[in-house]
């Protein structure tokens, strides 16, 4: 069934008003096609409780079949609100597992998928559902309340609903993603068994079943056994079971787990610098298309670099919850990892074919659309660390600033704190000519540096240092007052705080990307003075870092002096 469009299910649960249409509806000719088609959908129903429709599914051993066990299974009568129970006789007590009183001997070995629970202590709906812990742990599923579903991260790092509870008019339905359940079934040597019950009549005018009922066992159809009773003009009721075989085998699950089928993956080709053969060529990143340094071959090295327009990184900056953009690497939550990238003197992003190989094919295609001829070679940093094997100890403003802030967190600094330490990782250099990207990074830097200042502590400290802060003074003015109180000349103190004022004022101008005349003028000034947004941003980070170093030293010297006086 379509998870986002349950109209087919809703349609079969509603009685038509027209008499002729009602008689056709009561014939239940639509049931077998519905069950067969729905079993082939992306999502499969495992529980339905609606007007005129009831369905419930369990997992049974894979040797269960309708030929040998059909009569036994037709006696099945249960619902998900049965489960593990404590049973006691007059002189003994024991735990009884689920499915022991279902009216079927076969089902005593079944596995219950969902468990209906009820608790009057809940302030909202007292009934709710849980999923078999073995199933969700094996499949690594987790309940996400806002989606009302048990979810996982897919190969792209997106949240994927795997077992969903739908609240529909008149009842509920629970669906499971077929290929996810197939994996568990294949590994556990089970298959899905659904019991269904379609009882059709006119609500409000039904007085019961009378004489003249036509009862029949329909021929088995696509793993379905069904018994139908029709009373013309009154209604009908059917009862049946359906066995659904998993579309995945145990051997295919084994191969997937060990990555044996990786040779079936697709790989993109990139314009790359083939150092080995002294050429620029389009080279596949597939295994076998390149070699390492220790293999004698005419094939390019797997460390051949490919170059990209800087916009390739915009996707990862735009979703900081999903992607973690480090100084040299990119991680997509629970999905993939790009081990190494850097930016050369021409502003191009570059990475190696061997690292592109590790990305999903769709992600490789994202990089391919920004692939271009090299305008310069590797960055000095990449060449030094990746090929010379040396640590590059060169000052870089933003990493230095981040490092200093981490030290403040580690030291439990009272005047600057950051409730969400992930913010440190969320600030990056702007790498494109987009002023929106520049604005985003300005706001992120301001949230990191300025919003981390503890206004209450700074005000108290300024008073302690003999200053008289006004009621309207905010963090930066209070920090400046503290510097004066620590012995800095007023002009020097103002100069120390000026980079933070510049940052905060810029953030105010570009907030929400409202490019008014003042913001536009400031953007033009930055480009005129620095040439690129990145150069301006790096300069601003350096000035903030240099000021922060003196501010930290000032507070530290005061604290040491105070401790010495005690």
Based on the fold, state whether residues 119 and 179 are members of the same structural domain: yes
Number of helical H runs and strand E runs in the chain = 18, 24
Structural domain containing residue 462: 398-565
In the listed set 351, 386, 421, which residue is the last one of a domain according to the structure?
386
Confidence band of 380 (pLDDT split at 50, 70, 90):
very high
Residue 64 near residue 72, CB atoms below 8 Å? no
pLDDT of residue 470: 92
* 112 inside domain: yes
Based on the fold, state whether residues 423 and 331 are members of the same structural domain: no
**Cα(509)–Cα(522) distance, integer angstroms:** 8
pLDDT of residue 539: 97
* 189 inside domain: yes
Interacting residues of 267 by C-beta distance below 8 A, sequence separation 6+: 284, 285, 286, 287, 289, 357, 361, 364
Read off φ and ψ for residue 376, nearest 5 degrees.
-155, 175
pLDDT of residue 205: 81
Three-state SS string over 131-151 comes to ECHHHHHHCCCEEEHHHCEEE
* 6 inside domain: no
Residue 314 burial (10 A CB sphere; 0-12, 13-18, 19+): middle
DSSP label of 76: -
**CB neighbourhood size of 117 (10 A):** 14
Based on the fold, state whether residues 381 and 481 are members of the same structural domain: no
pLDDT of residue 139: 96
Residue 33 near residue 155, CB atoms below 8 Å? no
pLDDT of residue 406: 94
Percent of the chain with pLDDT over 70: 97
Encoding tokens for residue 435?
């002023």
pLDDT of residue 262: 59
Encoding tokens for residue 386?
């990746």
pLDDT of residue 438: 93
Residue 300 burial (10 A CB sphere; 0-12, 13-18, 19+): buried
Based on the fold, state whether residues 69 and 211 are members of the same structural domain: yes
* 5 inside domain: no
Encoding tokens for residue 438?
């520049």
Residue 36 burial (10 A CB sphere; 0-12, 13-18, 19+): middle
Read off φ and ψ for residue 481, nearest 5 degrees.
-65, -40
Based on the fold, state whether residues 74 and 222 are members of the same structural domain: yes
* 488 inside domain: yes
For the stretch 259-279, pLDDT in tens is: 766 567 899 999 999 999 999
pLDDT of residue 203: 85
**Cα(357)–Cα(334) distance, integer angstroms:** 17
Overall average pLDDT of the 538-557 stretch: 96
Residue appearing with tokens 């002729």: 20
Residue 442, CA distances (Å) to 167, 348, 389 in order: 44, 22, 34
Residue 114 has pLDDT above 80, yes or no: yes
Confidence band of 110 (pLDDT split at 50, 70, 90):
very high
* 259 inside domain: no
Based on the fold, state whether residues 54 and 173 are members of the same structural domain: yes
* 1 inside domain: no
Based on the fold, state whether residues 312 and 242 are members of the same structural domain: no
pLDDT of residue 402: 95
pLDDT of residue 103: 82
Confidence band of 562 (pLDDT split at 50, 70, 90):
confident
Percent of the chain with pLDDT over 90: 71
Round to the nearest angstrom and report the end-to-end CA distance of the chain.
Answer: 75
* 258 inside domain: no
Residue 166 burial (10 A CB sphere; 0-12, 13-18, 19+): buried
Residue 552 has pLDDT above 80, yes or no: yes
Mean pLDDT taken over the chain = 91
Encoding tokens for residue 181?
């359940």
Encoding tokens for residue 451?
């919003």
Task: Name beta bridge partners: 161.
Answer: 151
Residue 385, CA distances (Å) to 153, 269, 329, 415, 452 in order: 33, 26, 14, 37, 33
pLDDT of residue 512: 57
pLDDT of residue 261: 64
**CB neighbourhood size of 246 (10 A):** 24
Helix axes of 490-510 and 533-565: crossing angle, nearest 10 degrees: 140
Residue 36 has pLDDT above 60, yes or no: yes
Confidence band of 513 (pLDDT split at 50, 70, 90):
low
For the stretch 430-443, pLDDT in tens is: 999 999 999 999 99
Based on the fold, state whether residues 155 and 189 are members of the same structural domain: yes
pLDDT of residue 291: 95
In the listed set 252, 285, 317, which residue is the last one of a domain according to the structure?
252
**CB neighbourhood size of 113 (10 A):** 23
For the stretch 385-396, pLDDT in tens is: 998 888 877 889
In the listed set 199, 226, 252, which residue is the last one of a domain according to the structure?
252
pLDDT of residue 221: 76
pLDDT of residue 390: 84
**Cα(13)–Cα(5) distance, integer angstroms:** 15
Residue 83 has pLDDT above 90, yes or no: no
Residue 566 has pLDDT above 80, yes or no: no
Three-state SS string over 111-126 comes to EECEEEEECCCCCCCC
Encoding tokens for residue 380?
């000095």
pLDDT of residue 515: 67
For the ranges 58-62, 73-77, 307-311, which has the lowest average pLDDT? 73-77
pLDDT of residue 263: 60
pLDDT of residue 353: 97
For the stretch 187-244, pLDDT in tens is: 999 999 999 999 999 888 887 887 766 777 777 677 999 999 998 888 999 999 999 9
Based on the fold, state whether residues 139 and 188 are members of the same structural domain: yes
pLDDT of residue 218: 74
Task: Name beta bridge partners: 151.
Answer: 142, 161
217 vs 450, higher pLDDT? 450
Based on the fold, state whether residues 341 and 406 are members of the same structural domain: no
Based on the fold, state whether residues 442 and 334 are members of the same structural domain: no
Overall average pLDDT of the 339-368 stretch: 96
The number of domains in the chain is 3
Residue 375 near residue 307, CB atoms below 8 Å? yes
Based on the fold, state whether residues 421 and 504 are members of the same structural domain: yes
Confidence band of 560 (pLDDT split at 50, 70, 90):
confident
Overall average pLDDT of the 94-113 stretch: 88
pLDDT of residue 565: 59
Instruction: Report the alpha-carbon angle 332-423-528, nearest 5.
Output: 100
Which range in 29-33, 247-251, 379-383, 539-543 is most confidently predicted, on average pLDDT?
539-543
């Amino acid at each position: 069934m379509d998870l986002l469009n349950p109209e087919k299910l809703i349609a079969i649960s509603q009685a038509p008003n027209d008499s002729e249409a009602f008689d056709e509806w009561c014939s239940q000719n639509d049931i077998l096609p519905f069950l067969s088609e729905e079993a082939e959908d992306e999502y499969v129903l495992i529980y339905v409780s609606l007007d005129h429709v009831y369905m419930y599914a369990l997992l049974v051993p894979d040797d269960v079949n309708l030929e040998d066990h059909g009569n036994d299974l037709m006696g099945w009568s249960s619902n998900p609100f049965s489960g593990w129970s404590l049973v006691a006789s007059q002189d003994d007590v024991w735990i009884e597992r689920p499915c022991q009183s279902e009216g079927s001997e076969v089902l005593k070995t079944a596995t219950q998928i969902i468990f209906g629970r009820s608790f009057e202590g809940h302030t909202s709906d007292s009934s709710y559902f849980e999923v078999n812990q073995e199933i969700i742990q094996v499949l690594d599923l987790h309940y996400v309340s806002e989606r009302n579903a048990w979810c996982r991260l897919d190969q792209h790092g997106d949240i994927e609903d795997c077992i969903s509870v739908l609240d529909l008019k008149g009842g509920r339905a629970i669906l499971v993603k077929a290929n996810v359940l197939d994996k568990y079934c294949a590994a556990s040597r089970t298959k899905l068994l659904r019991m269904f019950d379609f009882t059709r009549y006119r609500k409000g005018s039904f007085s019961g079943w009378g004489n003249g009922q036509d009862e029949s066992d329909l021929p088995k159809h696509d793993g379905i056994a069904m018994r139908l009773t029709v009373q013309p003009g009154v209604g009908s009721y059917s009862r049946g079971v359906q066995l659904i075989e998993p579309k995945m085998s145990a051997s295919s699950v084994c191969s997937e787990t060990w990555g044996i089928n990786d040779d079936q993956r697709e790989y993109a080709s990139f314009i790359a610098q083939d150092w080995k053969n002294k050429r620029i060529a389009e080279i596949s990143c597939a295994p076998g298309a390149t070699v390492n340094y220790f293999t004698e071959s005419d094939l390019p090295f797997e460390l051949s670099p490919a170059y990209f327009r800087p916009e390739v990184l915009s996707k990862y900056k735009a979703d900081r919850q999903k992607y973690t953009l480090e100084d040299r690497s990119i991680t997509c939550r629970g999905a993939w990892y790009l081990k190494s990238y850097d930016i050369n003197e021409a502003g191009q992003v570059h990475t190696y074919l061997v690292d592109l190989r590790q990305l999903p094919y769709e992600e490789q295609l994202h990089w391919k659309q920004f692939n271009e001829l090299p305008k310069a070679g590797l960055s000095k940093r990449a060449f030094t660390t990746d090929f010379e094997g040396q640590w590059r100890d060169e000052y870089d403003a933003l990493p230095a600033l981040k490092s200093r802030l981490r030290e403040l967190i580690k030291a439990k600094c009272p005047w600057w704190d950051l409730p969400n330490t992930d913010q440190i990782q969320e600030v990056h250099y702007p790498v494109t000519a987009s002023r929106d990207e520049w604005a985003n990074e300005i706001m992120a830097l301001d949230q990191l540096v300025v919003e981390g200042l503890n206004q209450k502590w700074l005000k108290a400290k300024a008073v302690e240092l003999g200053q008289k802060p006004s009621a309207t003074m905010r963090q930066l003015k209070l920090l400046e007052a503290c510097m004066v109180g620590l012995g800095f000349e007023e002009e020097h103190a103002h100069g120390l705080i000026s980079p933070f004022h510049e940052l905060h004022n810029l953030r105010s101008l570009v907030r929400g990307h409202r490019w008014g005349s003042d913001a536009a003028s400031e953007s033009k000034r930055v480009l005129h003075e620095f040439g690129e947004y990145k150069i301006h941003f790096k300069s601003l980070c350096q000035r903030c870092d240099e000021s922060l170093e003196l501010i930290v030293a000032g507070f530290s010297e005061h604290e040491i002096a105070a401790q010495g006086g005690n």
